[in-house]
């Protein structure tokens, strides 16, 4: 009778934080979607802003990979600020809820942005350029449970406001 196979514990060990992040970034490069939800992040990893720089594993289908993100989910983290997001022009969905954000950067370069979920933060204001010039415009805005007193003029004067769970100043 052959000896029993031994389990390779190194293979089954949980990935370290860096290894897990690298795997997520490779997946983001392949799909255009980066899910960093609930990772206790204090800042957005810079590689999220330039996924084209993420090295693919040996034999990866580079011709099928994305150069930029379409969806970014960094909700349920500990983010207090975001870097400039101008390097993500194809971003369609941005999930920022349940962080500690007090301010958002300009989103004017995100011309494809359809969904912005920024509820449960510490936002005192939204960027004045939010929804201005986007073609087609922002379709959904979630900004409940913040410190907002008003909405940007670019949203208030629209004939068809984005659908929102809470788009009133009593957010």
pLDDT, tens digit, for every residue of 46-65?
888 888 777 776 766 666 67
Q: Which domains does the chain have, with CATH numbers?
A: 33-51+67-171 (3.80.10.10)
Structure tokens at 101: 């954000």
**What is the average pLDDT value for the chain, to the nearest integer?**
81
Tokens 């990772």 found at: 39
State the Cα–Cα distance between residues 120 and 99, nearest whole angstrom.
7
Residue 31 has pLDDT above 80, yes or no: yes
pTM metric for this prediction: 0.78
Is residue 129 within 8 Å of 107, Cβ to Cβ? yes
């Amino acid at each position: 009778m052959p000896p029993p196979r031994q389990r390779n514990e190194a293979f089954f060990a949980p990935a370290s934080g860096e290894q897990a992040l690298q795997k997520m970034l490779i997946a983001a490069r392949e799909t255009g979607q980066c899910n960093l939800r609930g990772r206790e992040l204090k800042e957005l990893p810079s590689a999220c802003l330039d996924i084209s720089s993420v090295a693919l594993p040996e034999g990866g289908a580079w011709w099928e990979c994305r150069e930029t993100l379409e969806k970014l989910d960094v909700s349920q983290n500990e983010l207090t600020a975001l870097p400039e997001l101008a390097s993500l022009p194809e971003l369609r969905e941005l999930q920022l809820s349940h962080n500690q954000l007090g301010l958002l950067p300009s989103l004017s370069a995100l011309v494809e942005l359809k969904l912005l979920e920024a509820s449960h933060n510490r936002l005192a204001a939204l960027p004045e350029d939010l929804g201005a010039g986007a073609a087609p415009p922002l379709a959904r805005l979630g900004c409940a449970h913040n410190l907002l007193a008003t909405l940007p003029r670019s949203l208030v004067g629209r004939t068809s406001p984005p659908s929102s769970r809470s788009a009133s100043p009593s957010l």
